Structure 1
Amino acid sequence: AGKRDNLTKSERDSLKTLSNRTDITIKPVDKGGAIVILSTSEYIREADRQLNDPKFYEPLADDPTVHHTQIVTSVLKDLLDEGRITANEHKLMKPVQPSPGRFYMLPKIHKPGNPGRPIISGRGTVTEPISGYVDSLIKHIPKSLDSYIKDTTHFLREISNLCIPKESYLVTLDVSSLYTNIPHDDGISSLIDMYVLHKQPDTPDGHVVATLARLVLELNTFEFNNKYFRQVSGTTMGTKVAPNYANIFMGKLESQFLFECPVKPLIYKRFIDDIFIVLSHTEEELVDFMDRYNAAHPSIRFTHSYSQTEINFLDINVKIEEGKLATSLYRKPTDRQQYLHYQSDHPHHCKNSIPYSQAHRFKRICSKETDFDSSSQNLKSVLEKQKYPPRIIDDAIRKAKQLNRADLISPRPTKSDTQRTNLYLTYSMNHPNVNNILRRHYNILEQSERLKRAFPSVPGVVHRRSRNLKDTLVNSRINSLPPPNECMFCMHPGCLICKQMQHTNTASSTHSQFSMKIKGHLTCASSNVVYLFECTVCKMQYIGQTRTAFRLRFNNHKSHAINLPTLPLSKQLALSKHSFDKLSVTLLESGFKSNREREQRESYLIYRFNTIKQGINESPGTLASIKMLSDE
């Protein structure tokens, strides 16, 4: 039998057409699971509005990745030489072929004007390894805060036995744009104070953490629409350390404020930037509390809501009933309840577990049986539309209904680490039952003592999900036409290099029949390139390559023409008595994956442009057998 596919050919063709459209941008919303389709021009306009705010961002002339890599490499080497970090830590944090971050937005459809929530993807950036390392050093600190909430279950446990005096107020606060409003100095100061207080054995000192954190905060550069920017305030939402960094900053701020404030909450709990308070005070004192809190730090502001009857916090509706707090499920207006479709290409046990996991969640949140029943019936209606079998839904609800809610919100015992080896596979409906195959043939492994020690039990199978519609249609890059392949001017007024730069999409040899198309959108700011110099008088040519920004390489050549007369280009200019400004330059290609690849390409083009026998180059480059290369 042929391979099964849960999309028809026409559906796949439509998907490809949709993913290639440049006039629209598809994004998940900020909250609720909905999908938004908006015009690319509108998306760019909103991004430009945010990126033009000098309080948070500054534009850059070019990609600073190479320069920032040099900074990080130097700092890490100093820390290693001083004995502040180990060789393994140095290796872990050293950047390898980094790239700039990517700016994208998630539309906030629950707010007027639908602004975008700015996120910067830190994957592959210069500071990604450092951010992950710092996060590993500080992730235990937020758990020590009195206000700390791990999740909904933890919150339910914290409020379950509260006695609420009459006339009390339920209050929720939201920190406005917390991540981007933490000043670097204040954030690092709070981080180090808390790090030293809760320092674990065999970890680096506070100086190391402060140094590394500052690199993450200050080298947070990114690209959007072929332009480069740096975030100058706060931390980017997208770097790994951000949640714990923000959590620690707020923990230090709130502890000092609550200690000094005369209005004391009955309870104060926080989930990163969402705060829940019960105040047994007058409304006037509540307002005074908020005024004081908004004045506690010059860049931190709060929005708040309050009620003497009920309020929503996270995914919970909290009510005051007979001196206790009753809870039920709360769904934000943007919640689309986008559960996995039953016909989607996922393992059956994953799909079959969804009705029970949701009913289990409802049972945990709802303190009254009637609220559980109401939420469960809504769940059944939604899942039936997603083609879930009614029998599976009913069994899940019945099973959850029989659970003891007190057990569900109690702390669960920590699971012991298992030594089982897992086989990781990307799931496909076309795969055989690999679990059965492993169980059936495990006895073969048991016949070898060495393999039996390596696999003391039957290996488990863990499935990664396969590529889905979101992977195909949603991208952190804007959905616009790529820039043309050409060598062009950088457009910066007064750029002396561009006076000698060719604006062209092709390049030709003056001493062979070879010509080529330019590969990449290249300017004097481009790095990781192969380039061509040509004397406009005698038509002699020279091929070179550079890892750094070309403008640096150009200026080096210009300096060498005077100070290093034995170099090939310098020698030719001296012999011909032609000045350096008689040279034109064309950038030929960029985007190489390694230094070796770039050097090999240089050798190939030296041969094709014939710049050794009848040009300026004196060496064929790194490839000894260059003449054996065939045309591309």
Structure 2
Amino acid sequence: METLLVNISSRVLSVSEISVLNKGLGFVPLFDGDKLDLDIELYEFFQEGVIRDNLPTDVQIQEPELEVNCVDLSKCKNKRDEWRAVGALRSDDSIIIRAADKGEAIVVMDIDKYNAEAMAQLSNRVHYEKLSRDPTKEFQDSIGVITLEALNQGLINKKIFEFLNTFSVPASQNPQGSFESPWQAHCVRLWFFAYIDAYLQVLVVQMRSYIRDTSDFWGKLDNLGSSCRDSLLCTIDVCSLYTSIPDSGADLDLYVPSIKFTLEHDASSIHFLDVQVNKIDDGLCFDLFRKPTDKVAFLQANSFHPASMIRSLPFSQLLHVRRIVSQEANFDTQAQDFRSRGYNDTSLQETLAKAKNRERTSLLRTKGKNKRNKSNRIPCVTTYSSKSGLVKHVINKNWHVLQSDPEIADFFKERPLMAYKRSPSRARISSKPSTTWLTPIKGMHRCGHCANCNNVITGSEFTHPRTGKAFAIKELLITNRHR
């Protein structure tokens, strides 16, 4: 099996540590569930999904009890070596483990070199400028002035004005002032850019050089046929586009000398994104392109994901390959990547045959968005674990109890929709607690959008109801947040 690991640290990794990392950071080990989390998720399902959102206020129903016992699978004998390896990697403060920006590799690097590289890039005064203060308020004021002027001139209506100033809406349930979330603090200009982008998209698609995606790219080249026999294949790319655009004084219709391009050309073969374009006698053919540094990082077959997802992954990936690869002989070799990740050979052959039966021309056509019928099924969202099947069985087995009550039967005609959150992946298990230079916010705060907000006392401390002694709250507590 091809290794995903690139170790450029001074640490010598053990066999178990290499084995763990080669499974990929998206790999999920067997998870038996967390009893407290499961209790909270089922409570939310019964209280918010079943009772609050679907029953009339005058109908009362007692929450059922569902007892599920969970065990610590890290104690299992055959998994001890892996858990020891994960613990050793997690506790080593001299290294950092990250997925490569491109190529799907997993990189182990000395933390000192990692921080030095980050600081070297941020210290580049050509591309970055050190701020003396937080500019968020200035951005808010500027957007407010511009949008108010546009509203007064009739360029936008009141609805759009409110949309563009979403960031400044305070939390209505906090009379002492809103608790600004990180979303509000870092997305000041999000709605503003989204509004502008909506107009630009209409113009961009009309440009002759516009390519929507790789499927559009293949479709355009497929139509060339033998007319490209004497042509030169070339690609042009922009070097560091965002850091090359002047901050002020730029004109779209003028030449900007700071923007540089790279040109690659060849008489017979060239690559664009993940597509290899080759000239043949009667036109062009296409193949999958991978850089020498690219790794095959498909999810391992024994990762603890829902079985339906594991079954569908090879088919969806092979359909993607089917769109790219135009020659049958090259397409057949792609299933080998899944064999190396532990997928069953028999099922792979069936999936390969199923994908080959799909006409490539039909896969290249642009498909409109499917309009799904709105379902009235109540979602039951839990973290996927070895107990998920049991929870689903018990709920479905007893769902007829709700359907048998004539007073509420109309609200529960369909069984609930079981939806799963991913259980802890290898990346989450092996990651170290994050640190920040920011002063942590402590105390009790309202989230601003749940029923519990009216029932809590906010502040940095609380008083014992009997002794009157005050206790400082040493962590950040927010209603409707359990982790």
For the superposition of Structure 1 and Structure 2, which TM-score range results when normalised by the shorter chain? 0.5 to 0.7
Q: 1:315 to 1:140 in 2, by over 3 A?
A: farther
1:413 is displaced (CA, Å) by 4.3
For residue 70 of structure 1, what is the aligned residue in structure 2?
137
Q: 1:436 to 1:158 in 2, by over 3 A?
A: farther
1:460 is displaced (CA, Å) by 2.6
For residue 44 of structure 1, what is the aligned residue in structure 2?
115
For residue 315 of structure 2, what is the aligned residue in structure 1?
356
SS in 1 for 2:116: helix
For residue 151 of structure 1, what is the aligned residue in structure 2?
213
For residue 298 of structure 2, what is the aligned residue in structure 1?
339
CA contact (8 A) 1:316 1:327 kept: yes
| 2:442 matches 1:592 | yes
1:403 is displaced (CA, Å) by 2.0
SS in 2 for 1:432: helix
CA contact (8 A) 2:143 2:165 kept: no
Q: 1:446 to 1:631 in 2, by over 3 A?
A: closer
| 2:228 matches 1:165 | yes
Which residue of the other structure, out of 459, 469, 494, is the alignment partner of 2:426? 469
Q: 1:473 to 1:165 in 2, by over 3 A?
A: same
Measured against aligned partners, the alpha-carbon deviations of 1:82-119 in whole angstroms (never above 9, x if no partner) come to 656548536732386558xxxxxxxxxxxxxxxxxxxx
1:397 is displaced (CA, Å) by 1.0
Measured against aligned partners, the alpha-carbon deviations of 1:109-155 in whole angstroms (never above 9, x if no partner) come to xxxxxxxxxxxxxx646232531563265257436243333332232
For residue 237 of structure 2, what is the aligned residue in structure 1?
174
SS in 2 for 1:53: coil
Counterparts of 1:254-269 in structure 2, within 5 Å, are none
SS in 1 for 2:287: strand
Separation in 2 of the partners of 1:631 and 1:435? 42
Separation in 1 of the partners of 2:402 and 2:186? 43
Which residue of the other structure, out of 89, 92, 95, is the alignment partner of 2:166? 92
Measured against aligned partners, the alpha-carbon deviations of 1:384-422 in whole angstroms (never above 9, x if no partner) come to 332222222121112112222122212224311321244
Q: 1:445 to 1:141 in 2, by over 3 A?
A: farther
For residue 124 of structure 2, what is the aligned residue in structure 1?
53
Counterparts of 1:402-441 in structure 2, within 5 Å, are 402-420=357-375, 421=377, 422-432=379-389, 440=397
1:317 is displaced (CA, Å) by 0.7
- The residue type equivalent to 1:94 in the other structure is S
CA contact (8 A) 1:156 1:365 kept: yes
For residue 134 of structure 1, what is the aligned residue in structure 2?
193
CA contact (8 A) 2:277 2:286 kept: yes
1:54 is displaced (CA, Å) by 0.9
Greater mean deviation of Cα atoms: 72-81 or 403-412: 72-81
Which residue of the other structure, out of 48, 71, 74, is the alignment partner of 1:3? 71
| 2:94 matches 1:23 | yes
1:307 is displaced (CA, Å) by 1.0
Which residue of the other structure, out of 371, 383, 386, is the alignment partner of 2:330? 371
1:337 is displaced (CA, Å) by 0.7
CA contact (8 A) 1:169 1:306 kept: yes
For residue 517 of structure 1, what is the aligned residue in structure 2?
none
- The residue type equivalent to 2:222 in the other structure is S
Measured against aligned partners, the alpha-carbon deviations of 1:510-564 in whole angstroms (never above 9, x if no partner) come to xxxxxxxxxxx8xxxx87xxxxxxxxxxxxxxxxxxxxxxxxxxxxxxxxxxxxx
Say which one has the larger Rg: 1
Counterparts of 1:561-576 in structure 2, within 5 Å, are none
The answer for unaligned runs of 5 or more in structure 1 is 100-122, 190-252, 258-295, 484-520, 528-589, 605-622
Separation in 1 of the partners of 2:165 and 2:380? 28
Separation in 2 of the partners of 1:79 and 1:456? 51
- The residue type equivalent to 2:138 in the other structure is I
Counterparts of 1:293-332 in structure 2, within 5 Å, are 296-332=255-291
Greater mean deviation of Cα atoms: 123-132 or 347-356: 123-132
Separation in 2 of the partners of 1:25 and 1:458? 45
- The residue type equivalent to 2:442 in the other structure is F
Measured against aligned partners, the alpha-carbon deviations of 1:243-295 in whole angstroms (never above 9, x if no partner) come to xxxxxxxxxx6xx69xxxxxxxxxxxxxxxxxxxxxxxxxxxxxxxxxxxxxx
SS in 1 for 2:314: helix
Q: Which has the higher contact order (CA 8 A, sep 6+)?
A: 2
Q: 1:336 to 1:439 in 2, by over 3 A?
A: same
| 2:257 matches 1:183 | no
1:184 is displaced (CA, Å) by 3.7
Q: 1:603 to 1:445 in 2, by over 3 A?
A: closer
- Report the number of matched residues: 372
| 2:353 matches 1:390 | no
Separation in 2 of the partners of 1:315 and 1:58? 35
Counterparts of 1:166-245 in structure 2, within 5 Å, are 166-185=229-248
Separation in 1 of the partners of 2:211 and 2:433? 31
CA contact (8 A) 2:276 2:287 kept: yes
TM-score, length of structure 2 as denominator length: 0.65
1:3 is displaced (CA, Å) by 3.5
1:59 is displaced (CA, Å) by 2.6
Q: 1:73 to 1:401 in 2, by over 3 A?
A: closer
Aligned identity (percent) is: 24
Which residue of the other structure, out of 339, 344, 354, is the alignment partner of 1:399? 354
Greater mean deviation of Cα atoms: 148-157 or 68-77: 68-77
CA contact (8 A) 1:445 1:451 kept: yes
Separation in 1 of the partners of 2:334 and 2:256? 41
| 2:470 matches 1:629 | yes
- The residue type equivalent to 2:73 in the other structure is D
- The residue type equivalent to 1:304 in the other structure is L
CA contact (8 A) 1:320 1:326 kept: yes
CA contact (8 A) 1:175 1:302 kept: yes
SS in 2 for 1:57: coil
Measured against aligned partners, the alpha-carbon deviations of 1:34-57 in whole angstroms (never above 9, x if no partner) come to 011111111122122212211111
The answer for unaligned runs of 5 or more in structure 2 is 1-68, 170-177, 447-455, 474-483
Q: 1:601 to 1:171 in 2, by over 3 A?
A: same
Separation in 2 of the partners of 1:314 and 1:626? 68
SS in 2 for 1:463: strand
Separation in 1 of the partners of 2:183 and 2:443? 13
